[in-house]
Amino acid sequence: MTVQLTIPRPDDWHLHLRDGAMLRAVLPETARDFARAIIMPNLVPPVVTGDQASAYRDRILAALPDGTTFEPLMTLYLTEDTDPADVAAAHASGLVKAVKLYPAGATTNSASGVSDFNKVRPVLEKMAEIGLPLCTHGEVTDSDIDIFDREAVFIDQVLDPIRKATPGLRVVMEHITTKDAAAYVTSQDSDLGATITTHHLIINRNHMLVGGIRPHYYCLPVAKREEHRLALRAAATSGDKRFFLGTDSAPHTDPNKLNTCGCAGCFTAPNTMPLLAHVFDENDALEKLAGFASENGPAFYRLPVNTDTMTLAKQDTAVSFPDKIDTPDGPVTVFDPGFDVFWKVT
């Protein structure tokens, strides 16, 4: 028997598209299923100014396959030199939908991020005034803080103080990985939201490390204990409007992943929606998928829900996804959930 689920066309509220040949190779994988995506600005060099975001947006639109509709929602990379007036102008023109905070050194291409949070105070105050959301990579970078604790410590030492010092600042905690983060979100008001990735609903740290190291499961923030994965599942399937999908699909070539110092990132753009249908089905929460993938994100970003739809169907036999996509830079491995999936986008 085929079960079908129709939802408003989803959006991805956290996506890495890269640039050049990689952009052209990965963009169709997202544009096939998603209407819009919040585009991460961690290029080399980063997308810091409104002019740079405008040029990047043009490159994304030029890379779209003919006949595809997809709207990139641009972000600016927050640096200690960011000009509040430039941010405000980029927001007022409609170009920029969020500013991204990377603590310096936290992850891929974050060297230009923030070390001294006092230096970005004028930008944050301007953002609170104009209602422009701040997206946070919520991990501290101190070498003496264990990597598995860095998200929880960030909440206490950085995020909560910033929010208290900047009333009205709207914040998205990106790719949350802990029960601490989920609990912090639910304890706060609607100025705070959080994205959850597909892969953090599926893997815990054992999947990455037991029986051999699996570099394709290595991402940042790193997957945590099973109790945290279960808390993320509970949050995503709860119907709470403050939780929404941000895949953090982050393509790296196999040579860059399968390396003595491998890159962080899971490439989930090609199969995210079937995997999410599997997860929500498993949690008996299929009726909550529309909220998580299609409705809660637009509500937070004060944008309309997409008017077109996506239909997912559950087959009797397992569906298959490509193992990799080929790019001129090398193959990029598609996230393997490690179980059979019976859902597909029709």
Catalytic residues: 248
* 264 contacts ligand DOR (rule: CB under 6 A): yes
> Least separation, in Å, of the C-beta of 60 and Zn ion?
16
* 248 contacts Zn ion (rule: CB under 5 A): yes
Q: What does 265 interact with, of ligand DOR, Zn ion, none (CB < 5 to 8 A by kind)?
A: ligand DOR
Secondary structure (DSSP) of 309-334: EEEEEE-SS-----SEE--TT--EEP
Please report the sign of the dihedral spanned by the C-alpha atoms of residue 339, residue 340, residue 342, residue 345.
positive
Give kind and range of the element (H or E) at residue 235: helix 226-236
CB 242 within 8 Å of CB 300: yes
* 42 contacts ligand DOR (rule: CB under 6 A): yes
> Least separation, in Å, of the C-beta of 5 and Zn ion?
27
Give kind and range of the element (H or E) at residue 175: none
> Least separation, in Å, of the C-beta of 236 and ligand DOR?
18
> Least separation, in Å, of the C-beta of 324 and ligand DOR?
17
Q: From 134, 236, 239, select the one nearest 191 (Cα to Cα).
A: 134
| Distances, alpha carbon 279 to alpha carbons 102, 282, 283, 288, 316, in Å | 29, 5, 6, 11, 17
Select the residue interacting with ligand DOR from 16, 24, 233, 288 (CB under 6 A): 16
CB 216 within 8 Å of CB 333: yes
* 46 contacts ligand DOR (rule: CB under 6 A): no
Q: From 213, 211, 210, 181, select the one nearest 197 (Cα to Cα).
A: 181
* 12 contacts Zn ion (rule: CB under 5 A): no
| Distances, alpha carbon 160 to alpha carbons 12, 20, 50, 201, in Å | 26, 37, 28, 25
> Least separation, in Å, of the C-beta of 110 and ligand DOR?
8
Q: Which is nearer to ligand DOR, 18 or 91 (CB)?
A: 18
Q: Which is nearer to Zn ion, 8 or 110 (CB)?
A: 110
* 306 contacts ligand DOR (rule: CB under 6 A): no
Site residues (CB under 6 A) for ligand DOR, limited to 206-225:
219-220
* 107 contacts ligand DOR (rule: CB under 6 A): yes
User: What's the CA gap between 52 and 59, in Å, rounded?
Assistant: 11
| Distances, alpha carbon 305 to alpha carbons 81, 296, 302, in Å | 35, 9, 9
Binding string to ligand DOR for residues 110 to 149, with x set by CB under 6 A, is what?
---------------------------x------------
Residue ranges binding ligand DOR (CB under 6 A): 16, 42, 107-108, 137, 219-220, 248, 250, 264-265
Residue ranges binding Zn ion (CB under 5 A): 248
